[in-house]
Chain A
Amino acid sequence: MDSALLIHRLHFAFTITFHYLFPQLTMGLAPLIVVLKTLALRRHGEIYNQAARFWASIFGINFVLGVVTGIPMEFQFGTNWSHFSRFAGGVIGQTLAMEGMFAFFLESAFLGLFLYGEKRLTPRAHLWSAVAVFLGSWLSGYFIIATDAWMQYPVGYERAADGSIQLGSFWKLVLNPWAGWQYAHNMSGAAITGAFVMASIGAFYLLWGKYEEYGRIFVKVGVVAGCLFSVLQVFPTGDQQGQMVFRHQPPTLAAMEGLFTEQAGAPIVLIGQPNVDEGRIDNPVIIPGALGFLTYRRWGARMQGLDAFPPEFRPQNITLLYYSYHIMVGLGTIFIAIMMLSALLLWRGKLFQARWMLWILLLSLPFPYIANTAGWMTAELGRQPWLVYGLMLTADGYSKTVSAGNGLFTLLGFMGMYTVLGILFLFLVRREIERGPAAEAVGH
């Protein structure tokens, strides 16, 4: 592979992966903060308000990092992927600009009000500012997904005389069916992160034996939300997202599943290492015939393998794609088990005493982040070798005027900067958690 191409890909991949660690928590926590504020208003419980303030302060730190790592994303379409931008900017510029106009302004304006204005607002108005932040962050998610969905499954475009792609139908772009399911799947994933983080911090307080009153609220809200969203994550959103890939990107599905050759009664591989050179899965543990059920809804249906597609149109990194997909699905299944079990214990009134379960909740904190990251790697590696599926190859999209050396220089710069930001983030969040929910919030 051309080294400039590799560096520009890594540049985007690294910065977006790091960036998305923050918005997934922002989008996941926003509805939970609305729930806490609503409980405060309904039950007149000051403790819920204080709990909301605690999560707002974590949200605030997280939001700052989401913003500062997000601005580079908007810029990198132009700086590192200028040929792609020139080719497709007439279409995806629409959704990206709408994100700024509709989502960011809403979110930033009301976050300022939510964080700094509690004393100036009535309780009800303060709740509404939390709702506005929630709406803003979830709208922002939609515009980004619509952009990615168009790259996965381009619709509503026309080809201009100069070879570039222009908008043909606004509504087709905005209501892309791929975007609908991808959005549901992705937002549910973000909500899982929010729920697990809240439950995990709550479990921490209960195990620590401090702020237990808050710990119980956090675990309860986290487990109820986690239960709901971890189920939605698999069905219907994950299932339908898989159908989209099966229908519109068949080589991608074959690579994700590690199906190298066409076969009747294709299995689902639970565990096993793809051996790309030999074209088979080594040491597999399989469910025979199950893949046909997931795709054709018929047990044991005949499936096309990777060998049905010309090599140049297969995803290049089959191994990484296969692992990403399997880690995502495996973790998603474990999440359902954890949350169902916790919910059962909660219902029986035993969860707060079941220390082993609280330990599991505490230690599960990093895994939703891993699952969300693996999910995005599945989507983006799966689209390869295309940048815009069927329209533009990734190899044709990067900035030809920006040399590999310059790209590597700024990639290393971002790595250094993000290491510092990551350490600061962990340091400050750890401090907030240690100070506890009952502490006075900090501010200028």
Chain B
Amino acid sequence: MATLWFVIIAIMLTVYVVLDGFDLGAGVIYLIVAKTRDERRLVLRSIGPVWDGNEVWLVAAAGTLYFAFPQLYASSFSGFYLPLMMVLWLLMLRAIGIEFRAHIDNRVWQGFFDVVFSVSSALLAIFFGAALGNVVRGVPLDHEGYFFEPLWTNFKPGPHPGILDWYTILIGVLALVTLTVHGALYVALKTENDLSRRARDIAVMLWPVQLLLTCLSLIATYFVRPHVMTNYGVHPIGVLIPMVVVGSLAVMAWANRQGRAQEQRQSKKEKLAFLGSTLYIMGMLVGVAFALYPVLLPASTEPVYSLTINNSAAGHHGLVVGFIWWIIGTVLTLGYFVFVYRMFRGKVRLEGEGY
């Protein structure tokens, strides 16, 4: 039962990154690709009706984590106290950046919230990446299963690391690049003409960087935590995951090149490129989950202090009952999302839309 919940939480977090990832990424490229007032409105319109629903996946995943693995929730949230609080503040700034901007039609007001929105989106992407890096690298858990991590120590991943060290910064940058590409492909898909082209150019330009950082991060992960290879050795089927990652990178490169060459069949290629990026994110995150299992949060101090699905899970009855309502809730939620995304399908335009 605990394994099932491990899988469910991995899925929920992956869905979160895929969905909120594109609106975070759209925020990162926002100031660069959207030059005119109308273009900025178009980018905001492309994410306006959905960003809040996307963010609920984070809240729902946190809630699910809370009830399925209370010990993990308690120790990781208190241990990552400072960065989590910063994430909360950034989420606030970003939300008001999106929502309050339109209320006053004034260049200074809008210019201010444009910067707030874009900068907080970029910082959030880096923070989420660094958080993932921390989970892979391990944290200084004590014998009671708690820790408190400073923001940084000597920037080396040792037994007493900080939130930021060279490894987690590397993962943070990888996350920033990945979500930037993801958001750029989404904007390319949802908009037209110059705006769409500029967004796609960013994705094309960053593709080699993404490839390079992916390779670097995989090598670095092996050095920081050699354990990550164990599960791949025991269950060779896991090798499929890196193949998905490689394949999705190839799909992105091909679809972008084709989209450039044949403007008339662009829309299909844009979808394919966005799908490629989605698969890449899923592949990378599933790869991490697969490598970690059954550990939830590795200890950098003593391996026995690691939090695993066995020492962190809630009682059996709760997990069984939870599974029943979780299935019902998920089916309902998928229904809403399909409905809402269908209602807002297609390219966004300025005329005759909105309220």
Q: Check B353 for interface membership: any CB of A closer than 8 A.
A: yes
Residue A93 is within 8 A (CB to CB) of chain B in the complex: yes
How far is A90 from B67 in the complex, measured between Cα atoms in Å? 5
Residue A363 at the B interface, CB < 8 A? no
B322 touches A109 (CB 8 A): no
B211 within 8 A of A: no
Q: When chains A and B are docked, how far (Å) is the Cα of A158 from the Cα of B314?
A: 12
Interface of chain A residues 334 through 369 with chain B (CB within 8 A): none
Q: Which B residues are CB-close (under 8 A) to A112?
A: 48-50, 52-53, 340, 344
Q: Are B96 and A116 in contact (CB under 8 A)?
A: no
- Cross-chain contact B77 with A82 (CB below 8 angstroms): yes
Considering the complex, give the chain B residue whose CB is closest to the CB of A80: B78
Give the docked Cα–Cα distance between A104 and B95 (Å). Answer: 16
| A211 lies within 8 A of chain B by Cβ | no
Interfacial residues of chain B within 318-349, with CB under 8 A of chain A in the complex: 318, 321-322, 325-326, 329-330, 332-333, 336-337, 339-340, 343-344
Given A79-B81, A97-B66, A100-B64, CB of A89 within 8 Å of CB of B314: yes
Quick one: given A79-B85, A86-B70, A94-B321, are A117 and B77 in contact (CB under 8 Å)?
A: no
Is B354 an interface residue when CB atoms closer than 8 A count as contact? yes
Are B66 and A78 within 8 A (Cβ)? yes
| Distance between Cα atoms of A98 and B328 in the complex (Å) | 10
Chain B residue numbers with a CB within 8 Å of A69 are 92
A79–B52 CA distance with the chains assembled, in angstroms: 23
Give the CA-CA distance A61 to B16 in the complex, in Å.
24
Pick out which of these stretches binds chain B: A31-39, A181-189, A298-306, A399-407.
A399-407
Also in contact, A68 and B147, with CB within 8 A (given A78-B77, A97-B64, A106-B336): no
> Of residues 69 to 119 in A, which have CB atoms within 8 Å of B's CB atoms?
69, 71-72, 74-75, 77-80, 82-83, 85-86, 88-94, 96-102, 104-106, 108-113, 115-119
Cα separation A431 to B109 with both chains bound (whole Å):
14
| Nearest chain A residue, comparing its CB with the CB of B352 | A119
In the complex with contacts A90-B67, A109-B340, A444-B102, A97-B77 CB distance below 8 A: no
Interface residues of A in 135-174 (CB under 8 A from B): 158, 160, 164, 166-168, 170
Contacts of B101 in A (CB 8 A): 444
Contact indicator A82/B148 (Cβ below 8 Å): no
Q: Given A82-B77, A119-B353, decide whether A89 and B70 contact each other with a Cβ distance below 8 A.
A: yes
Chain A residue at minimum C-beta to C-beta distance from B324: A170
Judge whether B79 is part of the interface by a CB distance below 8 angstroms.
yes
List the one stretch of B55-63, B154-162, B259-267, B273-281 in contact with chain A.
B55-63
Hey, which chain A residues are within 8 Å of B64, CB to CB?
97, 100-101
Is B118 close to A, CB under 8 A? no
Q: Which of A420-444 contact B (CB under 8 A)?
A: 421, 424, 428, 431-432, 441-444
Contact of A68 among B74, B76, B79, B91 (CB under 8 A): B91
Per the bound structure, the CA–CA distance linking A400 and B146 in Å amounts to: 9
B74 and A89 contacting across the interface, CB-CB below 8 Å: yes
Taken together as a complex, chains A and B put the C-alpha atoms of A163 and B271 apart, in Å, by 52
5 A-B residue pairings within 8 Å (CB atoms): A61-B103, A100-B59, A106-B336, A112-B340, A119-B355
Binding site for B on A (CB under 8 A): 53, 60-61, 64, 67-69, 71-72, 74-75, 77-80, 82-83, 85-86, 88-94, 96-102, 104-106, 108-113, 115-121, 158, 160, 164, 166-168, 170, 399-403, 406, 410, 413, 417, 421, 424, 428, 431-432, 441-444
- Residues of B in contact with A (beta carbons under 8 Å apart): 41, 44-45, 48-50, 52-53, 55-56, 58-60, 62-64, 66-68, 70-71, 73-82, 84-85, 88-89, 91-92, 95-96, 99-105, 146-148, 314-315, 317-318, 321-322, 325-326, 329-330, 332-333, 336-337, 339-340, 343-344, 352-355
Given A79-B81, A167-B314, 14 extra CB contacts under 8 A: A64-B96, A71-B55, A74-B62, A78-B74, A79-B80, A93-B318, A101-B333, A119-B352, A166-B314, A167-B315, A402-B81, A431-B103, A442-B105, A444-B48
